[in-house]
């Protein structure tokens, strides 16, 4: 019985060693073509480039929706005027005729607050990361 127990322990350790060897081989094989492991790969802390995303802010009945928006640098924000009057945006210095829209994009991180010049209580904020 002791021999069988020692033999089963040896078999388990042999299986563990084989699995580790297979795992290390897979890591080596799959990391070879990965740009993260080459000199051309991304450095630590860099973010891979991506296509700009598009966001839409609606203005209707005196409300911006969404009121607060978080975007990345280079993303495109379209502001649609769904009201029946011209929308004059303060801080963005844009005039949007009724039923039309305007696109804005930001190259630097920060925060941009905008408002309706006709009623400065109608506000919105875009946070750029």
Residue-wise DSSP of 73-84: TT-EEEEEE-SS
Residue 76 lies in a domain: yes
- CA contacts within 13 A on the Cβ side of 103: 8
Residue 42 lies in a domain: no
Q: For residues 72 and 12, state if they share a domain.
A: no
Strands 110-116 and 87-90 come out as antiparallel
Give the global pTM.
0.61
What is the Cα–Cα distance from 114 to 124, expressed in whole angstroms?
Answer: 5
Q: What is the CA radius of gyration of the chain?
A: 29
- Determine phi and psi for 35, rounding to 5 degrees: -65, -20
Residue 47 lies in a domain: no
Q: What is the pLDDT along the chain (129 residues), one digit of tens a residue?
A: 556 656 677 788 888 999 999 888 887 777 665 555 555 555 555 666 789 999 999 999 999 999 999 999 999 999 999 999 999 998 888 999 999 999 999 999 999 999 999 998 999 999 999
Quote the domain boundaries for residue 7: 2-37
Q: For residues 32 and 91, state if they share a domain.
A: no
What is the Cα–Cα distance from 69 to 6, expressed in whole angstroms?
Answer: 64
Q: For residues 67 and 92, state if they share a domain.
A: yes
Number of domains in the chain: 2
């Amino acid at each position: 019985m002791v021999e069988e127990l020692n033999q089963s322990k040896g078999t388990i350790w042999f299986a563990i060693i084989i699995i580790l060897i297979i795992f290390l081989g897979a890591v080596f094989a799959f990391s070879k073509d990965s740009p993260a492991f080459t000199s051309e790969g991304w450095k630590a802390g860099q973010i891979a480039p991506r296509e700009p995303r598009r966001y839409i802010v609606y203005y209707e009945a005196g409300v911006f929706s969404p009121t607060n928006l978080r975007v990345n640098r280079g993303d495109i924000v379209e502001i649609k005027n769904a009201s029946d009057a011209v929308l004059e945006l303060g801080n963005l210095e844009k005039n949007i005729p009724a039923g039309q829209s305007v696109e804005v994009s930001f190259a630097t991180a920060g925060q941009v607050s905008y408002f309706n010049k006709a009623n400065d209580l109608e506000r919105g904020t875009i946070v750029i990361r």
